[in-house]
Structure 1
Amino acid sequence: MMEEKMEDRNKIKTELIVVIVEKDMSGEVIDAAKQGGADGATVMYGRGSGIHENARFFGITIEPEKEIVLILVDAAIRNAVLCSIQKKIEIDRPGMGIAFVLDVAKVIGSPHLNLMSDITD
């Protein structure tokens, strides 16, 4: 019985959606992701260094703050989540941010995804 559960869980493809946006936009991204079917997200903070983003104030270069939203999803809902984010914050407009998807080899400790795999590999 336990082996069957592990086998079923290993068939689920998990992906990580990474969304990088301007400061104070992560809430909108998370709301959109949930509307698309995601259970939640994690927000981290960083600084951007894109070609259009360096501003100067009294001769001092100001580096804009960014929010990095990590959304772990079943691959089956990836497109719905991305579409929801695109519609809500228009991420495809210049300067609005970027979103990309990474394959995830293993997941442990996520009750939302129920994807605990055999970690002895």
Structure 2
Amino acid sequence: MDKIPTKNDFELIIAIVNDSYTDLVMDAAKSAGARGGTILNAKGTGNKDIENYFGVVITPEKQIVLIIVPKNIKDAVLSAIYKNVGLNTKGQGIVFSLPASDVLGVAEEAKEEEKEEKENNSEDLSSLAESEAAKE
């Protein structure tokens, strides 16, 4: 069984993608082991090809996806996201990570899940033992 992450064993993955590509980001992240994320709406300003119609600048809509992951899956999640929505795709995404110190809530959730899993395994073993005893 994997070691339960402590509050300092996490990274924050940030993906900035064109509007409407967040499903691809989350699908890729989840396929690499992430559990979920937070999506923020944003406007891009760094594009040299920003469109200008009749003197009105049209800034492209972007979305930012924030995902907290254990350090041991960070590289897999980054790679999966970039493969799905990187700069060479229609998603025009960039993805990077930052250390996330003192993460609370996620580690506790993982511990609770492990506790439930142990209880379920214990119940399964008890049921198996009872059914074996009944056969005798």
38-47 or 104-113, which deviates more: 104-113
SS in 2 for 1:9: coil
Normalising to structure 1: TM-score of the pair?
0.77
After superposing the two structures, state which structure 1 stretch, 47-56 or 30-39, moved more. 47-56
Residue of 64, 76, 88 corresponding to 1:93: 88
CA deviation string 1:18-42 (max 9, x = no partner):
0000000011100100001100111
Paired residues of 1:21 and 1:68 also in contact (CA < 8 A): yes
Task: Give the structure 2 partner of residue 43 of structure 1.
Answer: 39
Residue 83 of structure 1 is matched in structure 2 by 79
Aligned-pair identity in percent equals 38
Which letter does structure 2 place at the counterpart of 1:93?
N
What are the ranges of 5 or more consecutive residues in structure 2 without an aligned counterpart?
Answer: 112-136
Provide the residue aligned with 1:102 in structure 2.
98
Structure holding more helix per residue: 2
Q: Aligned partners of 2:48, 2:95: CA distance in 1, in Å? A: 18
TM-score, structure 2 as length reference: 0.69
Residue 9 of structure 1 is matched in structure 2 by: 6
Please state how far the C-alpha of 1:113 moved relative to its aligned partner: 4.7
Q: CA RMSD in A?
A: 2.0
